[in-house]
Amino acid sequence: MGDRRRFRRDSGFTLLEILIALLILGFLVVGLSAGVHAALGLWRAQRREVAKTEELDAAARSLREILTAIPQVSPGGFASGAAGRRGVRGSAHRFTFVGDMPTGIGTTRRADMRLELLRGRLVLLWAPHRHELLRVPPGPQETVLVRKLADLELAYWGPPSPFKAPTWLSRWHGPGIPLLIRVRLVFAKGDPRHWPDLIVASTL
């Protein structure tokens, strides 16, 4: 009888053993929570970096697609204004032209466009192209391509006159289009993003 009672008492856990086990389990939970927290922080940081790269990549693809398809002759212009009637026009910080705007369903739509820097953002302003002159032209829609920019620098490769060799120009007046268009984005000091100069040649 005494042996049976001793066996039952020896086969259980003491309060001290249970406390030690709980303490060890608590350390394990704390360690796992810290590891999960660190992993989530790293994942969020990576997602932010990927988002920055995705924005730049998407902007480069969109600009290359639009700028390579500018028609050689551009009747009418942005909002059917006077600048558009003079053809393609460009300065160091703005480029106005008529082109084909992707619709997202595999087709394009002719539109009056203007690429420029607004409030630190590279934006594409566009409105449906109309051949007739309207008393009140439709307002442009704004598509933001890149955010948080310090400056936009545009340049155009072509002859400044019919008798001179092509060179990079800070201004362009149509009706013809430049042989090359260079888009350079300037980021604020300390911004880790990098944008190699985008140089686009018309295929038309």
Q: Give residue-wise pLDDT tens across range 175-189.
A: 788 999 999 999 999
Mean pLDDT of the chain: 80
Residue 78 — pLDDT band, cuts 50, 70, 90?
Answer: very low
How confident is the model over 114-144, as pLDDT tens digits?
999 999 999 999 988 876 555 666 678 999 9
pLDDT at 191 over 70: yes
* pLDDT mean over 78-88: 48
Q: What is the pLDDT of residue 132?
A: 55
- pTM of the full predicted structure? 0.67
Instruction: Please answer whether residues 126 and 101 qualify as being in contact, where contact means their C-beta atoms are separated by less than 8 angstroms.
Output: yes
Least confident of 5-14, 93-102, 164-173, 179-188: 5-14
**Residue 51 pLDDT class (50, 70, 90 cuts):** low
